[in-house]
Every structure is written in C-alpha cells, then in structure tokens.
Amino acid sequence: MISLNTWNTLYEGKYGSSEYTILYLDDIFVSFLKLRDQSSALVQVYKVFLAQGDVEIFNSTLPYPSILYEKHFNIGENNTFKYLFLNTETEYVELNTLSFYVDNKMQELNKRVSSVISIVKSYNIKLTSLKLASEDSRNYFFADPGVIKVLTNLPSSLDFSRTTSLDKLVMGKKNDILVTTSMDLQKSVTIIGGNFDERIYALKLVCENYLLSSKTVIILDPTKTFLTLAYPQSDIKVLSDYELRMDPFGFPVKQIETSEIKIPLGSIPLNAFINLFKLSPLEQKILAKIFTSNLVTIDDLRRKVIAQDIDEEFSDFEKQRLLSKLILLDKRYENRFGETNLSILFEQRYKHIGSVKLFSVDANDPIYPYFVSQIINDLSLLVKDDILLVLPESSEIFNNLFIGRDIMDKIRANPRICILLSSKNSGDFVNGKLTDVTITMITDNDAVIRYPNRDPLRLLLRPTFTSSNVSYKKIESIIS
C-alpha cells in the first residue's frame, strides 16, 4: 500500500477556515480539505496529462469527470500548454484510512486511463503522462498558481459548518474512543461467529451506514428479519451512551415479491437444470441438443421439444413424457421465468437518504441461486452508483457446484456492486474467503474487525438506529 508521507507537497494552507493540502507523486495529485472534526476530509484524486491537439472535443465526450486546463504564453502552438486532469468524485474520507483510499482510487483512475487510451487514436490528439512530459511542460505546470485553483475542485454547495454524524460512519467504541470507518472499507464484508441474532444485528449496522450515505440496499432475505430496518430502535438511551447524536428512526423499506423479478430459463446452466429436475438419460440427451442460453420461458423449451423428430430412440411416448414434465414445471414455476426487469430496484423516492429493496426469499428454493446470479448479472450492466447487495446466511449460494464461483466473479468484476454476507463460520464458504473485510462476532456487540493489511481491531459495535434483538455492552471490557 502507498505511503502519502513520502509524497511531495504542492500546496498547504487554508480554504475558508479549513486546512487544505495538495500532495503529488509523478502524475498523481491528491487534494484534501480537513473537516472541523480534524478526523475526516473531503478528498479528490487526479491523474494529469499533457494534451496536444484538438483535445476540447475529445474531453467533452469522456464518460468520466475531467478538467481541461489551458495556458497560453505567446504566439504559436508551441507556447500554448494544455493539461487534462482525470479526477475522482469528491468524497468524505477518514484521515486514518486516507492512504488506503488513495491507493484504491489510483487503481480506479488507471482503469479509466486504459479506456481513454483505447479511444484516443480516433482523435487528432496526443496525451502524455505528466511524469513523461518534457521538462518545459512540467516546469510551466508547477510554476502556474492557476493549477492549484484547478485542483481545488470542491462542490459549489459545500457547507463548511457541516459536522453531523453523516460526515463519518461510526462503527463503535474501543477504550471509550469512537471508532469510525469509510464506505471504501465496507464494500466487501462478511459477518461470522456469534449467534444468529448477533450476526443479523451486525449486518443491519453495515446496512445503516449505506443508507445514511444515501445508497440503495438490496436484501435477499431468507431469515425474515430485515423488515425491522423500517422500525426505530426502542432503547433511546443506548444511542447517547455511544455518542450517537441522532434519534432512533427507521428507513424506507419496499417489500418485493420474488415473482416480481423473473429470470430467463436459459440463465440456468444445462447441467444444473438436469440436476434440479432429475431428468432421465434419454431426456438429458434430447435437452443437450435444444437447451440454449437464449431460452426465456419453459414454454420456449416445450416448443423446441415438440419440434424434435421422433425416431427409434426418442419415441412418441418418450416425447409426450418429457412434455408432461415440462408442463408440470411450467405450472410450478409459472411466475419465475421470463425477461429480467430490475427497474423496481432503482425507484428512489427519497433524495437525502437511502432505501431498502427487500426480497423475502426461500433458501431451499432450487431456483434461488440462479435468481441471485441473474440479479447480479443485470445489476452489473445497470448500476451507475454504489449499491449494497445483502445475502444473509448465504453460504449455500456460493457453494453451488454450477455457479457459485461465477457469482463471486461477477461481483468482483464490478466495483459498484458492494457485497455483505453472513454465515456461522468462515469455513461454511467452501471456496474460501470471499470478501476483503471480516467482522467476527464474539458476544452481544463485542466484535473483531479484520481489514486488509491491518492488525485485527476488537471493539464494541455501536447500537443500530433501527430495531435489533441484541444486548449492548456499555462498559469497556476489551483488553487487546
């Protein structure tokens, strides 16, 4: 992981009444404005290029945030310098996680650069990384005070007096000191250990942090417990014990029937379909010829069976028997197969707070793992902002012989899909560790958080703002 302590300082001073700093290394720049609590900051990360040619039109077509800065010194093209800044969004970050955050954002910017480089050949322009640019180009860049203004790219609506609890996400207390976290450290979390109620409580705490950050939370709930996110915490005093300066409240929860989201029949692999519905060797042989990924309904499959010619092996009797099985399956799953439409998941009525889309699911339903897989597949194509997908007590999904690994690969391939899992033991996941962060419940709200590249952190997790079914330790009892 990078160490910002070794970076160069371009600017250090005041912006309004707040401390403002710009650091850089080669062609990467980081600007951060400390908030009044001095433990968090508004942060942006930039990657800078020297641009040559008609870069203005090219810049207007980029699907990412960017800034084009131009400085003209004298007559002639050689005396005009253009610099293209690719930048991240402005985000609140805990200062103790700043290096980790910048490291992640650098990787994100490098992926964007790969996309930009792939299309730059279509334009009459040239982009050169600032670290590879000529000495004159770099000297003009660093000597120009206007560059600092460009890097001070803060939201116009910024309120410097804002110090509500939403500036930082409180996880709990250690040695009577508040422990906070960032959204980046909660993008990939598994809850293990403790009893069932303690794991559900920890899941809800992470959900609340997303909801307080105005994110959508999608929960596929086989436990029938997450409707309580709509109901306030009944113990008001316990919130003040943890210095949570907010009253108990519930979040908007929309319950959705699984029948409202259909999946194409072809999204189930053939081998899985055969295994699920116990087809005979001859029926398997016939389906191997006609079962394709573009099948939408069971009726589509029936029409393909009907179109099959009869021969000595596949007699009319065998054909009718297979059709009868498909008719029975169609009646049993008539509301489950069809084109997938996830628009209901993106309905957002509330502007400044997140909402929950809650599916009550049956973990024993043989279609369940494929339902999850299809939702993730379509979310990957649709999401434009971070969403949290919650799969409580979910090891059987990821242990699925046919698609378990594929489901996790799809999640890892899209950084916008954040994942929250739980199970009694880490060993329940046969494919090994699936997330970056693990929270191990000990008893009540006593827990250990394991972040990447850090020592384990034992703490007392904060109470939830919503209803929960655990006792809260209020006296510090943690030694290590």
The whole-angstrom separation of Cα 419 and Cα 252 is 20
pLDDT value of residue 165: 35
Taking residues 147-175, what's their average pLDDT? Answer: 64
Residue 157 lies in a domain: no
Residue whose tokens read 């307080």: 212
Residue whose tokens read 């560059």: 147
Taking residues 390-395, what's their average pLDDT? Answer: 92
Co-location of 367 and 225 in the same domain: yes
pLDDT value of residue 159: 44
Co-location of 272 and 390 in the same domain: no
Co-location of 271 and 408 in the same domain: no
For the chain, percent of residues with pLDDT exceeding 70 = 92
Higher pLDDT, 190 or 19: 190
Co-location of 315 and 231 in the same domain: no
The whole-angstrom separation of Cα 32 and Cα 92 is 9
pLDDT tens column, 41-73:
888 999 999 998 888 888 888 888 889 988 876
* pLDDT category of residue 28 using cuts at 50, 70 and 90: very high
CATH code for the domain of 426: 3.40.50.300
Higher pLDDT, 347 or 30: 30
Alpha helices for 121-233 (secondary structure H): 135-143, 146-151, 196-212
> Structurally, how many domains does the chain consist of?
3
The whole-angstrom separation of Cα 284 and Cα 275 is 10
Taking residues 265-292, what's their average pLDDT? Answer: 90
Q: Is 460 exposed, middle or buried (0-12, 13-18, 19+ CB in 10 A)?
A: buried
- The residue among 332, 352, 375 that closes a domain is 332
User: Does residue 263 have a pLDDT over 50?
Assistant: yes
Alpha helices for 164-280 (secondary structure H): 196-212, 236-241, 270-277
User: Does residue 315 have a pLDDT over 90?
Assistant: no
Range of the domain at 306: 266-332
pLDDT tens column, 317-350:
888 989 999 999 988 887 899 999 998 888 776 6
3-state SS assignment for residue 441: strand
Co-location of 323 and 353 in the same domain: no
User: Does residue 356 have a pLDDT over 80?
Assistant: yes
User: Does residue 181 have a pLDDT over 60?
Assistant: yes
Residue 159 lies in a domain: no
User: Does residue 382 have a pLDDT over 90?
Assistant: no
Q: Of all helices (H) and strands (E), which one includes residue 338?
A: none
Angle at 442 between CA 440 and CA 445, to 5 degrees: 95
